[in-house]
Amino acid sequence: MVTADLSEYYAVVNNIQDGYFETDLAGTFTYTNAVISEIYGYSREELTSVNYRQYTDPVNGKKAFKAFNKIYRSRAPGRLINYEIIRKDGTRRQVEIAASLILGKSGEPVGFRGTVRDVTVRKQMEERLQRSEERYRTIIENIEDAYFEVDLKGKFTFVNEAVSKNLGYYHDELIGMDHRHYAEESTARELFALFNRVYRTGVPVKAYSFELSRKDGRKGFCEISVTLIKDKQGKPTGFRGIARDVTERKRFEERIRHLATHDTLTGLINSFMFRELLQENIEYAHRYQKQFALFFMDLDGFKIINDTLGHEAGDQVLIECAARLRRVLRASDSIARLGGDEFVMLLRDVGEVEKAAALAEKILAVIREPIDLGGSEYVITGSMGISIYPRDGEDLHTLMKTADLAMYSAKEKGKNNFQVFSPEVKPLLHEKNLFSEFLRFALERDELFLEYQPKLNLKTDAISGVEALLRWRNPTLGLVTPLQFIPVAESTGQIIPIGRWVLEKACKQNVAWQRQGLPRISVSVNISQRQLLDERLIGDVEEALAESGMDPELLELEIAERTVLSNLPRTIDVLKRIKDTGVKLAVDDFGSGYSTLSQIRFFPIDSFKVDRSLISSAPANEISKVVIQAIFEIGKLLELTVVSEGVETPEQLDFVRDSSCDMMQGFYFAKPLSPDNVARLLKEHEPRPL
């Protein structure tokens, strides 16, 4: 400051925001601006005689001496010297100092000058941030899910212990590793595209599943959620995410999917899956001018074995027949169990009648081989019908109908044979058409009646409701089973007036029971697909309730699972409108269609009934038990009432009672009953353990 105007210089330093000071070589202030007084808590006059030892403790004093001594020896300015000072009032502050030497006229050091900034608040924030980061790291290290951070090239920069566990690598091995090390080439490309999309759009990805390869070579499934990491300027620097091992869940879903498309007893594909395969094959054959054969086979005398030797023996017969069909047919052929003792086979590229006949003989010969049941040999035979595409039908319905008619023809000709569909079989079609003709007059002739099967509350052992079941007794045809006439009524549209009659009859009967002083119970009525599409359905429901005077809460409409899935948006809309009337809704035959598991949360329903095919396979079948228990838990999570239908044995009852099931229905408790017998049961039944 030899040539500078000192008054002008000090006018400047007195107006800067940082503290300004000058000291002698011993560290005693010789000049300070006003900011220094605010920081140190001394007046400017007091500071002119204050030495650094007076406002530092021994540790910080030593730190300050060392820093200023370095400036003295090196003659180089000292940048950002950090230490703690003690104010006049005893409080402590964190300061940041930048200092340099003051040189005399001859160039010798005479003191120090510099600036001081109070960084106490900033330091406190940094400490809190550090503690927060430490807590964050601790949490990340201890969460069950895998947490990872990668750079823009996809290389790990941070992983917690769960990542190491999932991939089978040590922590240090993973740092610097990219997805090409733990994913197949095609999967690695998918992951690259996924991360690239997050980079380009900035939109996080949630629950993306892929197959990974562990260090030991084992495969697994992982589900990741990924988001972008950005620096303070908003520039992407990498990715962070959560990963979850979903291997067991994927395997469980595969088991459920298999069970939903396959018969639980025989392992063959079920009717639902077979119809899809048949439709695909029809489209393929039409496009490429191919032919194929459709075989329908019914086991002769199966009911006798089932009734005399029991269901276990019957199940053994079905399992053995399915195994024999697999052995005799090609891998390219499809075999399904339609239900009961009916099997259907799709034989691709078999268009000649002679070839189909030879295969039919071979199949029937294999079925005829003796089977051991309880130490005794029994011979089972089959009756088979054959239809050829496109000769005997060009659509799914016609093909299955002609094969079915040919099978009935085989039964009429003494069983244990096959028949190829021909015009001679058509009289059987005429016989089936009689159902439609007679059914037209069934209502006006008072041939229809209802039976009611009780439902038991497994928690209270009280009868909580009944299901209305339609029956038909015709003077000419006798007692016709629902399996025979319901499909006819559905296809002809007669189900609409019949369904309206069932609603009215069931509601009136429920009110009649109440007027007898019987317990207040609900009544369930089945609604078919054709009815669900009928615009008058909701009006019919409201009219039935109004005419009977029944509380809407006591009416439950049951819709089959496949019906619900047939036209999902429209179905959900109709179900919501029905719910607005106060009527309860249930999904029937739940578990026969896998897709319902992912869609059921969208249905405005109150309950679902687990399909009898699943219940019948439990508790002996461990996989079925796991699936059923999972379905029960789904019901609990969605706060739905779960009903098990088809409970026929004490073992099945014990199983559903010990699970999360709410109600049961089946022959073990009660078969379908007349209204009078229902009334008698309601009077006599006392809630008690079965």
d(CA 587, CA 603): 9
How far apart are alpha carbons 510 and 512 in whole angstroms? 5
What is the structure's pLDDT at 671?
Answer: 93
The pLDDT assigned to 672 comes to 94
pLDDT for the residue numbered 596 = 52
pLDDT, average across residues 421-426: 74
Predicted pLDDT of residue 455: 95
d(CA 473, CA 428): 21
The encoded tokens of residue 101 equal 């030497």
Q: Is a pLDDT exceeding 80 seen at residue 364?
A: yes
Confidence of residue 598 (pLDDT cuts 50, 70, 90): low
pTM here?
Answer: 0.47
Question: Which tops the pLDDT comparison, 557 or 415?
Answer: 557
Q: For 50-79, how does the pLDDT look when each residue is reduced to its tens digit (9 = 90+)?
A: 898 899 999 999 999 999 999 999 888 877
Whether the pLDDT of residue 3 is over 70: the answer is no
Instruction: Count CB neighbours of 657 within 10 A.
Output: 17
Question: What is the rounded distance in angstroms from the CA atom of residue 607 to the CA atom of residue 352?
Answer: 50
Q: Coil, strand or helix: which one is 312?
A: helix
Range of weakest confidence among 219-223, 302-306, 451-455, 653-657: 302-306
What integer is the mean pLDDT of 668-675? 94
- Does pLDDT of 559 surpass 80? yes
Q: Is pLDDT above 80 for 566?
A: no
Q: Among residues 288, 366, 308, 296, which one has the least CA distance to residue 338?
A: 296
Number of Cβ within a 10 Å radius of residue 182: 23
- The amino acid at 223: E
Q: Give the distance from CA 331 to its chain's centroid.
A: 32
> Which one-letter DSSP state was computed for residue 248?
H
Among 237, 227, 186, which Cα is nearest to 207's?
227
Three-state SS letters, 484-506: HHHHHHHHHCCHHHHHHHHHHHH
Tell me, what amino acid is at 651? E
pLDDT digits (tens, 9 = 90+) for 321-334: 999 999 999 888 99
Q: What is the pLDDT of residues 72-130, one digit of tens each?
A: 998 888 777 888 999 999 999 999 999 999 998 888 999 999 999 998 887 877 777 66
pLDDT score for 450: 97
- For a pLDDT cut of 70, what percent of the chain falls above it? 91
- Residue 367 tokens read as 């079925």
Where is pLDDT greater, at 442 or 217?
A: 442
Domains of the chain listed by start with CATH number: 6-124 (3.30.450.20), 143-245 (3.30.450.20), 253-421 (3.30.70.270), 439-611+669-684 (3.20.20.450)
Non-local (6+) Cβ contacts of 173 within 8 A are none
Handedness of CA 149, 151, 153, 155 (dihedral sign): negative
pLDDT in tens, 128-185: 766 655 555 655 555 667 888 999 988 998 888 888 888 888 888 889 888 788 888 8
Q: What is the DSSP string of 36-104?
A: HHHHHSS-HHHHTT-BGGGGS-HHHHHHHHHHHHHHHHH-PPEEEEEEEEE-TTS-EEEEEEEEEEEE-
Q: Is residue 583's pLDDT more than 90?
A: yes
User: In sequence order, which residues have a C-beta less than 8 Å from that of residue 212 and are 6 or more positions away?
Assistant: 166, 167, 182, 183, 187, 219, 220, 221, 222
**pLDDT above 90: residue 424:** no
Tokens linked to 172: 């240090």
Of the given ranges (46-55, 494-503, 534-543, 565-574), which has the lowest mean pLDDT?
565-574
User: Would you say residue 454 has pLDDT above 60?
Assistant: yes
Instruction: Name the residue with higher pLDDT: 533 or 192.
Output: 192
Mean of pLDDT values over 471-487:
86
Tell me what the mean pLDDT of segment 10-30 comes to: 85
Enter the tokens of residue 274. Answer: 């077979």
Name the strand (E) or helix (H) holding 27. none
- If we measure between CA atoms, which residue out of 232, 233, 235, 174 comes closest to residue 199? 235
The rounded mean pLDDT for the chain is: 86
Q: pLDDT-based confidence at 25, cuts 50/70/90?
A: very high
* Residues in contact with 282: Cβ distance below 8 Å, sequence separation at least 6, in sequence order: 389, 394, 395, 396, 399
Q: Could you read off the pLDDT of 155-166 as tens digits, one per residue? A: 998 888 888 888
Find the helix or strand (DSSP H, E) in which 321 lies: helix 311-328
User: Which residues sit opposite 345 in a β-bridge?
Assistant: 295, 335
Q: What per-residue confidence (pLDDT) applies to 389?
A: 94
Q: Is the pLDDT of residue 428 over 70?
A: no
592 has a pLDDT exceeding 60: no
pLDDT of 139 reads: 52
Tell me what pLDDT residue 304 has: 67
* Residue 15, pLDDT score: 73
Share of the chain above pLDDT 90, in %: 41
SS3 349: coil
Q: Is the pLDDT of residue 594 over 50?
A: no
The pLDDT of residue 612 is 81
Over residues 487-502, the mean pLDDT reads 86
**How far, in Å, CA of 85 to CA of 52, rounded?**
9
